Amino acid sequence: MKEDEFLCCQLGFWVFLIICLVLVSLAGIASGLALGLLSFSQVDLEVLIKAGRPKDTKHAERIQPFVKNGHFVLCTLLLGKSLAMEALPIFMDSIIPTWFTILVSAPLVTVFAEILPQAVCSRYGLTLGAKMAPFVQLLLLIFFPITYPASKVLDWALGKEHSVLLRRSELKTFVDLHANEAGKGGELSHHETSIITGAIDLTRKTAKDAMTPISETFSLDINSKLDMHTMTQIMSKGHSRIPIHSGHPRNIIGLILVKNLIFCRPEDETPIKNLIIRKIPRVYESWPLYEILNQFQKGHSHMAVVLKSNKDTESTMGAPTFLNIITNKISNAAQVSVGNILQNLAMVSYQIK
């Protein structure tokens, strides 16, 4: 028997046994916190702080300083874990035979200092990280002379900030996964996800994507009159704005507001050229819908003519309106509901061959 070996049930035996348990616990805590704390990104914590539940907000605020200094915390926790695991066999060897120490220490460390702590902290990392914040701060203070310089080397070599922002396509998929119909516990409805993903896709769409073909367009000739037949057509279409053409439907010269016709009687057969004909802004087919939407929101017009630009000539292709851009923004799934809200806006297009 070794000189420093204690017999079972002696005071020294229990002291060393407690030390072994403490070392395993410290190694487990350090291992679990390393995974739990550093699994959060700055974006995750910002979201929780600004929009999380009160308890989550409080926890996120407590662990945010650790995440900001990720390399410093990582070096500290790993150093603490390594010291605890290296010291464990020394104390175990004093209370049990050497061969049994080798046999027991590996499974003991693997289960209680690796698997269990990391499994628990990966699931409850936010709560446990906040509760163990004082312990982590104590370790940072104790190992500061060693781990702080090491963390600065890592910051210099790898960079301090790690970008975790999603690209546009990734963000769209992220939103889709949060839909309740995805079956993953999300709370977003189909219409909500359609609105969000539609807004994301809108930056890639142009005026050409929001046009209504000329064959589906209703317009009036400037030389026609507001007789009973014309008034019936206007009422049946349900538009708030009617394009006005001269001679040919593709030759758009302006538009009239249907609300201005309230005092026009069919029996008077008022000539359309006597009405107030408003100008229509011109845009090119390659213009982004966001740019056109911004122009519409200024209130000058809710309709624009789309021009197809060639090297030598320009031809009128169509006219996107506020409604069509909005329905493109919210995607096809929500067109019906937005159509009811913005039913006084329409979209027409024209094309000259």
> Strands 270-271 and 225-226: what pairing?
antiparallel
Q: What is the pLDDT along the chain (353 residues), one digit of tens a residue?
A: 444 555 566 777 788 889 989 999 999 999 999 999 988 888 889 889 998 899 999 999 999 999 999 999 999 999 999 999 888 888 887 777 777 777 887 888 888 888 999 999 989 999 999 999 999 999 999 999 999 999 999 989 888 766 567 788 888 888 888 876 666 667 788 888 888 887 787 778 888 887 776 677 788 899 999 999 999 998 898 888 888 888 887 788 888 888 888 888 888 889 998 998 888 887 888 888 878 777 777 777 777 777 776 544 555 555 555 445 444 544 443 343 333 333 333 344 433 33
> Can you give the pLDDT at residue 217?
77
> Can you give the pLDDT at residue 335?
42
- How far apart CA 197 and CA 217 sit, in angstroms, is 28
**Exposed/middle/buried for 313, CB within 10 Å: 0-12, 13-18, 19+?**
exposed
Q: Phi/psi at 284 (nearest 5 deg)? A: -95, 155
> Can you give the pLDDT at residue 57?
93
CA atoms within 13 A on the CB side of 128: 22
> Can you give the pLDDT at residue 349?
42
State the Cα angle at 318 between 192 and 215, rounded to 5°: 95
Which run of H or E residues covers position 81? helix 70-92
Two structure tokens written together for 24: 């395993």
CA 212 from centroid of its chain's CA atoms: 31
> Can you give the pLDDT at residue 348?
40
> Can you give the pLDDT at residue 133?
94
> What residue ranges define each of the domains in the chain, with the CATH number in brackets?
11-158 (no CATH), 168-203 (no CATH), 205-341 (3.10.580.10)
Question: For residue 21, how many other CB atoms are within 10 A of its CB?
Answer: 14
> Can you give the pLDDT at residue 161?
65
> Can you give the pLDDT at residue 353?
33
